[in-house]
Amino acid sequence: MTPPAPQPTTVPRLVALDMDGTLTQHKTPLGATNRAALDELRRHFRLVLVGAGSCLRIHNQLGGYPADVVGCYGMERAEWDEEVPQLRVVETSPASPLDVEARAAALAAVARIRDRHGYTSFDGDSVEFHPSGMLTFALLGTAAPIEAKLAFDPDRSRRRVFYDEVCEAFPAYTVFVGGSSSFDIVPRPYDKLHALRRYCAAHGIGAEEVVFIGDDYGPGGNDEQVYRSEIDFLTIDDYRHFPQVAASLVNRAANTIASPPDGPLPSNVKEHASCH
């Protein structure tokens, strides 16, 4: 269940959003109902998507939605150009793909974890190596059917059993219980909090002027760092509830004197935990 949340006390200029599980089902196009709710938010607030996938993947999954995108946990940043109109990549990480030796070491570490926990059968590749230097440990394999992935571990409990082992195997990385059946293994210091802070710094927006909407705020979740930070966080436990969450922000905006897109805020924000 979503934890109880006090009323925020500041007017945000920016609404930052997770995508999978928040706006859409995992790796599924944005539906008409949630797109309409997103459109209503955009009339009142500046928006940015902050995700695990590349900027282009996020943009395409959302049907080319006209909003800024921070992808790959902050390794990429793209901004929507209203005049063209198109999404322009404005920043990419200096990180590089793993070399042959590092890939072999990663595959060996993953194989040991698979052997210990019985995940020795998979479709496609065991690990996806991204150009950014990120890795995806795909428990069911990179070629597993999307239906199998969605049904595998919706509450993330199966992966949390050995989450600490994956962290120990990759000490130079931050590990997330990513997507619906995998682990995202990301070079430090990249995570969504780091990404959001850098985006805000680039646009002169203070942390107190931001609200983040996300579903993956539990232990090992890729929204956890933001949830535990000083940034106001609206929790959502089912992407089908997004219109209600968006409406809470819009209703607050209607009662606050502010100019779009530097508008106001919601009524379902978590109580701040200590930042780590």
Each domain of the chain, given as residue ranges in start order, spans: 14-93+190-254, 100-187
- pLDDT, residue 213, reads 98
Q: Which CATH architecture best describes the domain 14-93+190-254?
A: 3-Layer(aba) Sandwich (3.40)
Phi, psi (rounded to 5 degrees) for 195 = -65, -45
- pLDDT, residue 10, reads 53
Share of the chain residues as helix, strand and coil, in percent rounded to the nearest 5: 35, 20, 45
- pLDDT, residue 179, reads 82
- pLDDT, residue 252, reads 81
- pLDDT, residue 257, reads 43
Please state whether beta strands 182-187 and 210-214 pair in parallel, antiparallel, or not at all (unpaired). Answer: unpaired
- pLDDT, residue 104, reads 98
- pLDDT, residue 5, reads 41
Distance linking the first and last C-alpha atoms of the chain: 23
Taking the C-alpha atoms of residue 17 and residue 81, their distance in angstroms, rounded to an integer, is: 19
- pLDDT, residue 271, reads 39
pLDDT in tens, the chain (276 residues): 444 344 444 557 999 999 999 999 988 999 999 999 999 999 999 999 999 999 999 999 999 999 999 999 999 999 999 999 999 999 998 778 899 999 999 999 999 999 999 999 999 999 999 988 999 999 999 999 999 999 999 999 999 999 999 999 999 999 999 788 999 999 999 999 999 999 999 999 999 999 999 999 999 999 999 999 999 999 999 999 999 999 999 888 777 644 444 433 333 445 333 222
Q: To 10 degrees, the CA torsion angle through 76, 126, 167, 108?
A: -120
- pLDDT, residue 82, reads 94
- pLDDT, residue 147, reads 93
Q: Which CATH architecture best describes the domain 100-187?
A: 2-Layer Sandwich (3.30)
| Under 8 Å between Cβ of 272 and 230 | yes
- pLDDT, residue 273, reads 31
- pLDDT, residue 178, reads 79
Taking the C-alpha atoms of residue 181 and residue 115, their distance in angstroms, rounded to an integer, is: 17
Number of H helices, E strands in the chain: 9, 11
